[in-house]
Structure 1
């Protein structure tokens, strides 16, 4: 019967630890305090400005989401439908979690209401674009016949026809 050997590796953590880079603050990476406690150390004007910049921070994300929905096209394909559904899900979940993003501060002078409203308005732009997109795809019920099956569909007033000319 063959004998199996167990290998063990000794690791000397002190000897192999690299020095921290210049300007590195180890206390900044291991902060157990919440963001509101860290913000409480700043003056009131700086805290209010930080909240306002936090409220406008998702504008780039919403703009990219709208661009992706626009680029996916208006045809009924799985990619365009999934992109549009993502356009509904992300802003809605961000609006519903806005209370976590802007907690009520202990300082009564700090106004968290306006930055929270701004945050929700930025995400509402994404929601509005998603509604416009789904209406352009023809998936938004806009007529009574979309809801009641016994109603007749509206009369189509225009038709698109393609033609190939031979020369």
Structure 2
């Protein structure tokens, strides 16, 4: 290190260089400079904390939307037949997002701070991602043929027409 990097100022009295616990400070140490440096570090730390809080909030909000491609692949691999494995997969894919939709506020509660605010947009994106997962599960139920969406699925509930006429004919066997 060159001598120009170190500048010592001996004009201060020795009493001004002492700390409150009566230890000597190193030569050239100014408590005001250390305070300025400390406040700058604190500001940088606060900015970094705000940045990390915002990033974590966005990661939480985008989580359901990021998982949609993987869920689509899992539904493809589960197959279209009606058996226990695909039905369980669809059931989990339907109930997990429903559960998440009912707990949106509790999901974002630890992330709320003055830096992040109320996070309305984050919650909206979180809800849209979960609604997309529910839509994917409903589509899978439709492709499996379990969704009653044709008139033939509701024949049991259609009232039977009454007879218009009766015929009484004795059959004669020859």
TM-score by length of 2: 0.54
Aligned residues: 113
1:111 shift after superposition: 3.4
- TM-aligned CA distance change 1:61 to 1:100, over 3 Å: same
Larger Rg: 2
Greater per-residue helix proportion: 2
Report the aligned-residue RMSD: 2.9
Pick from 128, 131, 134: which aligns with 1:124?
131
Taking structure 1 as the reference length, the TM-score comes to 0.56
| Mapped contact 2:64–2:133 kept (Cα < 8 A) | no
* Aligned equivalents of 1:147, 1:40: Cα separation in 2: 61
The answer on whether the counterparts of 2:81 and 2:144 sit within 8 Å (CA) in structure 1 is yes
1:59 deviates by 3.5
Runs of 4+ in structure 1 over 6 Å off = none
CA distance in 1, matches of 2:155, 2:89: 28
Match of 2:92 among 52, 72, 86: 86
Q: Does 1:52 align with 2:58?
A: yes
1:127 Cα offset (Å): 0.9
Could you tell me which runs of 5 or more consecutive residues in structure 2 were left unpaired when the two chains were aligned. 1-45, 160-174
